[in-house]
A and B are shown apart, each in its own frame.
Chain A
Amino acid sequence: QVQLVQSGAEVKKPGASVKVSCKASGFIFTNYYFHWVRQAPGQGLEWMGIINPTGDRTTYAQKLQGRVTLTRDTSTSTVYMEVTSLRSDDTAIYYCARRDVRGSFDFWGQGTLVTVSS
């Protein structure tokens, strides 16, 4: 069955960086795009970016441009999301999600809480 398993919770200080992983199984990893979405405490869903199947093309939300990087490793079927220069308003649950053939986000990881606090 399709599974996306994310790395564990992180606590970071302002100005630091965080890298979250999302390990895929149960499907052909190299056939799919992946998105990242975040959700601040008590808030809605915010799209962050997308990475293509070969990992050589990414698109990011303008708000995060320059601070977020998506990568993927075919050998381990893992997608990564890194955010640099963390601020308190980056505190959120970060989700990876698979893009299905028509574009919807059909499977989601369990989420990773990133807390930014001094």
Chain B
Amino acid sequence: EIVLTQSPGTLSLSPGERATLSCRASQSVSSSYLGWYQQKPGQAPRLLISDASTRATGIPDRFSGSGSGTDFTLTISRLEPEDFAVYYCQQYGSSPYTFGQGTKLEIK
């Protein structure tokens, strides 16, 4: 089983700042089958990034993903008020399709 470790657990930033979220895998994620999801309170997760760096339909270009192998990053270039939420990374290259424990992005 691939274990995904996200850091930091909580990130406190202000609107307009840049956010950098990390996801590290216990073993290489095949073909960069790594996704990032955003979840707001009371809502289902929403796909932001697939295949490590491909934005999903309708996702603003301030969201970007990078990385390969075992180290992946989600960057939000300039935070908007609606971006404060919990973010999960997930690998879908091999079963079981594991999630990281999440990073909470909160307003400073």
Contacts and interface: CB of A to CB of B under 8 A. Distances in A.
Q: Do A and B bind each other?
A: yes
A44 to B, nearest CB: 5
Interface string A4-17: 00000000000000
A44 B50 contact: no
Interface residues of B, number: 22
B47 A104 contact: yes
Contacts of B47: 104-107
B8 interface: no
B79 interface: no
Contacts of A107: 47
Contacts, number: 59
Interface in A61-118: 61-62, 95, 99-100, 102-111
A105 B39 CA distance: 13
A27 interface: no
A84 B33 CA distance: 32
29 contacts: A44-B99, A44-B100, A44-B102, A45-B45, A45-B88, A45-B90, A45-B99, A45-B102, A47-B98, A50-B95, A95-B44, A95-B45, A102-B33, A102-B50, A102-B51, A103-B33, A103-B92, A103-B93, A104-B33, A104-B50, A104-B56, A104-B90, A105-B35, A105-B37, A105-B90, A106-B47, A106-B50, A106-B56, A110-B44
